[in-house]
Amino acid sequence: MNTNIDLSQLCTLGVGGVAESFAAPDSPEEVQQLIKAAKGSPVYVLGGGSNIIFPDGVIHGLVISTRNLSTITWHDDMSADIQAGYKLPVLVKTLRDKNLAGLEFAAGIPGSLGGAVSGNAGAGGHGVCELIESVLAIDSSGSFRVYNQKDFSFEYRKCSLACENIIILSVKMKFREAKPEEDENIYQKFLSLRKNQPLNFRSAGCTFKNPEGNSAGKLLDDCGCKNLRVGGAVVSDRHANFILNTGNASSSDVTGLIKICSDKVFNNTGIRLEQEIKNASPCFFALL
Ligand SMILES: Cc1cc2nc3c(=O)[nH]c(=O)nc-3n(C[C@H](O)[C@H](O)[C@H](O)COP(=O)(O)OP(=O)(O)OC[C@H]3O[C@@H](n4cnc5c(N)ncnc54)[C@H](O)[C@@H]3O)c2cc1C
């Protein structure tokens, strides 16, 4: 366990305060011990930090990083248990190397598998939850729980597991044999979509979800949000749904800018955009 860890270094946006207590356990059993020792404290979970904003200042309680939960165990040629901290880009590469398919749409999405499942990350109408057979998680009492496919639901950028007050520990996923040319083309198509993203500055990807039948980026652009700035945070002039850290942004700069953009779109169109980037909140308070 470490104290006073600067979370801005662990989040792709480069903002956020200092964790009072921080741990990166190596096994589910170690997560269990940490939760049991945390008695009454708020417990946060951090994956790859590519879709989360911690507030400025001290974050009281325990932040558990999944970065060392990073093994993959194959059951057979097609299915594997993958720990929550396994990096999604590494998983995509592992599958390509093994001539397996199913996750082509995730080409270029950063972060961990646990974070991806929690928000059903994806692109082009697909999300990682489509491939899940079961999930192993842990709750506020330190009890392990298994969720089978029928026990949870998911939709665009949403998974019901995110409301269960649990930490996802590992995910059993099933893939399929690749059709070499066809799946490679799909993979390259999704990868090429990334060319429009402003990757030259730190960001947390898209700020808002697309409202049904509409594009958040287009709405933001039409409402004049490009180049709006608060402190060191600015709305990209290439992709209006990306907020960039120009170097010295604080968390409150980013959240302030998010509010300005959201209000601008609401006042102009009547549409209240739903935030895609997560404001950090405790998964649970560890049981006494
Ligand atoms: C350049 C860029 C491009 C991106 N493109 C896309 C895209 O195309 N599609 C897309 O969907 N997303 C995209 N994202 C956003 C982000 O990469 C994904 O949402 C990603 O899946 C988040 O995973 P993470 O591990 O980084 O999660 P984090 O940012 O660490 O956490 C996100 C949320 O998940 C929770 N969480 C993390 N791990 C666990 C766990 N083990 N158990 C329970 N809860 C957990 C956190 O508490 C937090 O609420 C992009 C981001 C960037 C920076």
**Which domain-ending residue is among 153, 169, 195?**
195
Is pTM beyond 0.95 here? yes
Chain segment 218-262, per-residue pLDDT in tens: 999 999 999 999 999 999 999 999 999 999 999 999 999 999 999
Q: Count how many domains the chain has.
A: 3
In a domain, 284, yes or no: no
Chain segment 126-172, per-residue pLDDT in tens: 999 999 999 999 999 999 999 999 999 999 999 999 999 999 999 99
Q: Which of 67, 223, 276, 283 is catalytic?
A: 276
- Do residue 206 and residue 186 come from a single domain? no
- Distance CA(156)–CA(165), nearest Å, equals 20
CA of 205 to the centre of ligand 1 (A): 9
- Average of pLDDT values for 55-80? 97
- Do residue 170 and residue 254 come from a single domain? no
Tell whether ligand 1 has an atom less than 6 A from the beta carbon of residue 123: yes
Dihedral sign of CA atoms 35, 61, 7, 47 in order: positive
Range of the domain at 6: 2-68
- Distance CA(25)–CA(73), nearest Å, equals 18
Closest by Cα among 113, 121, 110, 111 to 194? 110
* 175: CB partners within 8 A, 6+ apart: 78, 79, 80, 95, 100, 101, 102, 103, 131
Tell whether ligand 1 has an atom less than 6 A from the beta carbon of residue 233: no
In a domain, 286, yes or no: no
Chain segment 38-66, per-residue pLDDT in tens: 999 999 999 999 999 999 999 999 999 99
- Is residue 125 over pLDDT 90? yes
- Distance CA(70)–CA(57), nearest Å, equals 29
Give catalytic status of residue 261 as yes or no.
Answer: no
Q: Which of 206, 223, 225, 261 is catalytic?
A: 206
- Do residue 207 and residue 270 come from a single domain? yes
For position 79, which CATH number holds? 3.30.465.10
- Is residue 196 over pLDDT 90? no
Q: Tokens 């993203």 identify what position?
A: 197
Closest by Cα among 70, 54, 44 to 10? 54
Give catalytic status of residue 164 as yes or no.
Answer: no
Give catalytic status of residue 206 as yes or no.
Answer: yes
pLDDT at 275: 98
Q: Which of 31, 51, 120, 197 to mutate to test the pocket of ligand 1 (most atoms within 8 A of CB)?
A: 51
**Which domain-ending residue is among 195, 226, 243?**
195
Asked if residues 166 and 145 have their Cβ atoms less than 8 Å apart, the reply is yes
**Which domain-ending residue is among 68, 85, 106?**
68
* 267: CB partners within 8 A, 6+ apart: none
For position 32, which CATH number holds? 3.30.43.10
Asked if residues 37 and 229 have their Cβ atoms less than 8 Å apart, the reply is no
In a domain, 279, yes or no: no
- Distance CA(12)–CA(14), nearest Å, equals 5
In a domain, 282, yes or no: no
pLDDT at 36: 96
- Is residue 85 over pLDDT 90? yes
pLDDT confidence of 180, banded at 50, 70, 90?
confident
Shortest-distance atom of ligand 1 to CA 46? 30
